[in-house]
């Protein structure tokens, strides 16, 4: 079973389901950018957020492990007339000859790094890639959010023209500490006829924000702000999401 793979049906579903990032989310990430900045979005996916930067002619690069998500991002970028650099890479394989003023990871994607060594490697790489005084912004799903997980299976669908993708997510399975697996089945129908089925297992790690603060400080990051939403509500410790704004 493929884990956190983002294959073709998952990518198609993602784009049909989330065609555009909400304005307050985009504005939040844009608010840290300046036109002369070199910007990097690791785990950029199909460009839901990155495309907004490209349209405003920011110097932004992205990388993602999924060829399918990146290819969607590339196609959408070309439509905007921009040709920003995209790389298929993980935190293990990504490299850059230059450093960045601003790095961000959108939609708590960092929680897909469920192994401690993977997460550590990612944070260390970002620290290395960040210029002194640069800004790193990302979010985590907290243990508070884990408590609210729906225990029942879920069915969702997304349509475009004569295509429909049906997603069935099994009852979540609680794995190792604070890691939850969501076994997902994607079925593509065209004109009502089943064309393809793909399965993926999504593993998400929920974090204790207090422990995360300690980890970030140990790595050398300085915490500038912690928000609980994109409208800059201050994170008080018990909300579902913690958005970190860090510097080096």
Ligand X SMILES: C[S@@+](CC[C@H](N)C(=O)[O-])C[C@H]1O[C@@H](n2cnc3c(N)ncnc32)[C@H](O)[C@@H]1O
Eight-class DSSP state of 106: -
Helix (H, G, I), strand (E, B) or coil at 28: helix
Angle (CA) 68-70-71 rounded to 5° is 65
Residue 76: which residues within 8 A CB-CB, separation 6 or more?
46, 47, 51
226 part of the interface to ligand X, by CB under 6 A: no
Q: What are the beta bridge partners of residue 157? A: 166
d(CA 147, CA 164): 32
Stretch that binds ligand X, among 74-82, 102-110, 175-183, 221-229 (CB under 6 A): 102-110
x/- letters, 107..146, toward ligand X (CB under 6 A): x-x--xx---------------------------------
Stretch that binds ligand X, among 45-53, 143-151, 160-168, 221-229 (CB under 6 A): 45-53
Stretch that binds ligand X, among 29-37, 41-49, 203-211, 240-248 (CB under 6 A): 41-49
| Residue (38 or 48) nearer to ligand X, CB | 48
In whole angstroms, how close is the CB of 68 to ligand X at the nearest point?
8
| Residue (113 or 129) nearer to ligand X, CB | 113
In the numeric block, which tokens belong to residue 139? 């979010």
Region at 27 (left for phi over 0; alpha for psi -120 to 50; beta for the rest): alpha
x/- letters, 46..65, toward ligand X (CB under 6 A): --xx--------------xx
| Residue (91 or 186) nearer to ligand X, CB | 91
Query: 10 Å Cβ neighbour count for 219?
Result: 14
In whole angstroms, how close is the CB of 18 to ligand X at the nearest point?
7
Question: Under a CB-based contact definition with an 8 Å cutoff, are residues 61 and 87 in contact?
Answer: yes
In whole angstroms, how close is the CB of 73 to ligand X at the nearest point?
9
84 part of the interface to ligand X, by CB under 6 A: no
Query: 10 Å Cβ neighbour count for 83?
Result: 10
d(CA 166, CA 187): 5
| Residue (32 or 91) nearer to ligand X, CB | 91
Q: Which residues bind ligand X (CB under 6 A)?
A: 4, 6, 43-45, 48-49, 64-66, 69, 90-91, 106-107, 109, 112-113
């Amino acid at each position: 079973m493929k884990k956190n793979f983002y294959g073709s049906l998952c990518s198609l579903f993602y784009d049909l389901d989330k065609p555009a990032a909400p304005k307050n989310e985009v504005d939040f990430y844009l608010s840290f950018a300046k036109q002369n900045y070199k910007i990097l979005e690791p785990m950029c996916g199909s460009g839901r957020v990155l495309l907004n930067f490209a349209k405003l002619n920011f110097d932004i690069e992205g990388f993602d492990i999924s060829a399918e998500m990146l290819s969607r991002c590339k196609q959408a970028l070309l439509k905007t007339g921009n040709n920003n650099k995209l790389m298929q890479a993980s935190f293990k394989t990504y490299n850059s000859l230059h450093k960045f003023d601003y790095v961000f990871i959108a939609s708590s994607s960092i929680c897909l790094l469920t192994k401690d060594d993977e997460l550590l490697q990612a944070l260390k790489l970002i620290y290395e890639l960040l210029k002194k005084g640069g800004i790193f912004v990302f979010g985590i799903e907290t243990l508070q959010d884990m408590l609210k997980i729906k225990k029942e299976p879920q069915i969702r669908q997304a349509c475009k023209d004569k295509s429909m993708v049906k997603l069935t997510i099994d009852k979540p399975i609680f794995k190792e500490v604070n890691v939850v697996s969501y076994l997902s089945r994607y079925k593509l129908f065209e004109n009502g006829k089943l064309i393809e089925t793909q399965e993926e297992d999504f593993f998400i790690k929920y974090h204790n924000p207090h422990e995360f603060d300690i980890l970030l400080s140990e790595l050398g990051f300085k915490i500038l702000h912690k928000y609980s939403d994109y409208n800059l509500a201050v994170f008080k410790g018990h909300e579902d999401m913690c958005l970190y704004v860090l510097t080096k």
